[in-house]
Amino acid sequence: MFNFTSETWPPYSGKTKKNKQMKTKYTALVVGANGVIASSLIDHLLTLEDWQVIGLSRKGGQNKERLQYISVDLLNRENTEQQLKHLTDVTHIFYAAFQDRPTWAELVAPNLAMLVNVVSAVEPIAHGLQHISLMQGYKVYGAHLGPFKTPARETDAAHMPPEFNVDQQQFLEQQQKGKQWTWSAIRPSVVGGTALGNPMNLAMVIAVYASISKELGLPLRFPGKPGAYNKLLEMTDAGLLAKATVWAATDPRCANQAFNITNGDLFRWEELWPKLASWFDLETAPPLPMQLQVIMADKAELWKSMQEKYGLEKHSYDAVSSWGFGDVVFSWDYDMFGDSSKSRRFGFHEYIETETMFYNLFEEMRQKKIIP
């Protein structure tokens, strides 16, 4: 944990080739810094010379030039205020924290409280605050409840609560009234990234499932519901999402707006799944409904032996497996996609082919020695 004082902040200012202090224009407070979304956001911000970054998480992180982590319990208001009381230079808050709970209703209180605690601690002292970015998702449209209207649009009608994403946005809308700062709500589809220990990392699910299938000499079977194999889906690359999030936070046209952010293409598992299997040099076999949480629960020792055999990094099995999330995604026997044309109309035009995204992520995992 780093104790900030007026003498030590801002940390890691860096120097130019002329040995002069590097000046940054913006200070980003990234909340939920170790998640698949926020970690990619931090990586992107550090490629931009105008930014210095503060990452908030319970675990903290490794500090480096223009990046400082703070370990904080965001559910504890007093701890949050104490840990953040020196962050007077914050210009942008990027909120991507999430606390999981067993039911939709139980998700509301902790996830709303964390956002409220951060904003309540920083807004009164950060007089140069310009923007608060809220990471949401398709739960806003009721995608988690069952078949919903597709393509989902930012103007779609709300659904019956409870829904913490909606409560968070309503809090920001009320808090922003009469203020100089603005907000944006970013709504990705399923996010593809390589962050470890994340409960919602589909690319990691597929990579580890495929690696274990190969080790056991098995074909790669689609494990989801039969009806899910031919439905239309889309995804959002974490790197693409990071660029869109910063764009929305800094382009005045995006003030107080919500945006769907996706790769820009649609796919069906029945077409993509054999291609992903081929990347791992695997054959496929007909889909077979299997709960990954159940059938993969006993594979920890096998994975440990694979780490030894292939010289992989010794990450825990829990850190590389998000089987519950895989079960959720592979159970969607209805179309799951939104309309991202609003972001293009407002000026964001980047995209990536989802097939290419998966290959890039798999290769990155291999380079990092996460998978063989």
Residue 184 pLDDT exceeds 50: yes
Mean pLDDT of the chain: 93
210 and 255 both lie in a single domain: no
**Residue 166 shares a structural domain with residue 279:** no
> How large is the average pLDDT for residues 267-285?
98
Same domain, 205 and 114: no
Judge if 207 and 356 occupy the same domain: yes
Does the pTM surpass 0.85? The reply is yes
| Residue from 95, 117, 44, 34 nearest 69 by CA | 34
pLDDT band at 182, cuts 50/70/90? very high
List the one residue out of 336, 334, 297 whose CA is nearest residue 317: 297
198 and 97 part of one domain:
no
Q: How far apart are the first and last CA of the chain?
A: 34
User: Does 107 share its domain with 150?
Assistant: yes
Q: How confident is the model at residue 198 (pLDDT cuts 50, 70, 90)?
A: confident
Does residue 342 form part of some domain?
Answer: no
Q: Is it the case that residue 48 has pLDDT exceeding 60? A: yes
Both 144 and 176 in one domain: the answer is: yes
Residue 314 lies in a domain: yes
- Measured in whole angstroms, the distance separating CA 106 from the mean position of its chain's CA atoms is 21
Is 325 in the same domain as 180? no
Task: Quote the tokens at residue 39.
Answer: 């970690």
CATH value at residue 78: 3.40.50.720
The whole-angstrom separation of Cα 144 and Cα 85 is 37
**Residue 16 lies inside a defined structural domain of this protein:** no
How sure is the predictor about 197, in pLDDT bands with cuts at 50, 70 and 90? confident
| Structure confidence by residue, pLDDT tens digits, 300-334 | 999 999 999 999 999 999 999 999 999 999 999 99
Place of tokens 């209180």: 109
Peptide bond into 226 cis (omega under 30): no
Q: Domain check: are 43 and 112 in the same one?
A: yes
What CA–CA distance (Å, rounded) separates 151 from 189?
12
> Any residues with CB less than 8 A from the CB of 193 and at least 6 apart, and which?
36, 37, 39, 40, 201, 203, 237, 238, 239, 361
> Does the residue 140 lie in any domain?
yes
* Same domain, residue pair 114 and 126: yes
Judge whether residue 261 has pLDDT over 70.
Answer: yes
Measured in residues, the chain has a length of 372
Q: What percent of the chain has pLDDT over 70?
A: 94
- On whether residue 205 sits in a domain, the answer given is yes
What pLDDT does residue 134 have? 98
pLDDT level of residue 19 (50, 70, 90 thresholds): very low
Domain of 317 in residue numbering reads as 192-234+266-336+350-365
pLDDT for 70 equals 98
Asked if the structure places residue 305 within a domain, the reply is: yes
Whole-number Å distance between alpha carbons of 246 and 25: 14
In a domain, 20, yes or no: no
How many structural domains does the chain have?
2
Secondary structure tally for the chain: helices H, strands E? 13, 11
Please list the residues that pair with 26 across neighbouring strands: 51
In a domain, 285, yes or no: yes
Contacts of 184 (CB under 8 A, 6+ apart): 131, 132, 133, 134, 248, 249, 254, 255, 256, 257, 258, 259
pLDDT tens-digit readout, 88-105: 999 999 999 999 999 999
Judging by beta carbons within 10 Å of its beta carbon (0-12, 13-18, 19+), is residue 249 exposed, middle or buried?
buried
Residues 332, 222 within the same domain: yes
pLDDT of residue 15: 37
Determine the pLDDT at residue 1: 34
pLDDT for res 22: 55
The answer to whether residues 73 and 182 belong to one domain is yes
